[in-house]
Amino acid sequence: MGKLSDALEEKQKRNKIHNLLHEMYKKDGTIKNTGSKRKSKWVLI
């Protein structure tokens, strides 16, 4: 998570990444999860 702003706390960084993945998965359809829910592996489509 070194590429995110140092002004954000760790919890904020995790939430930002989660929100980006969710948007790419549900809204855009640009990625899909090929792993399990516990060990996700995101792949570009």
Domain definitions of the chain by residue range: 10-44
Query: Using the 8-state DSSP alphabet, how is residue 19 labeled?
Result: H
pLDDT tens per residue across span 1-45: 678 888 999 999 999 999 999 999 999 899 999 999 899 899 999
Question: Within 13 Å of residue 31, how many CA atoms lie on the same side as its CB?
Answer: 12
Q: How far apart are CA 5 and CA 19, in angstroms?
A: 16
Which are the contacts of 41, defined by CB distance < 8 A and separation ≥ 6?
33, 34, 35
The first and second tokens of residue 13, run together, are 């960084």
Give the Cα separation of 9 and 29 in Å (integer). 28
pTM (global) more than 0.75: no
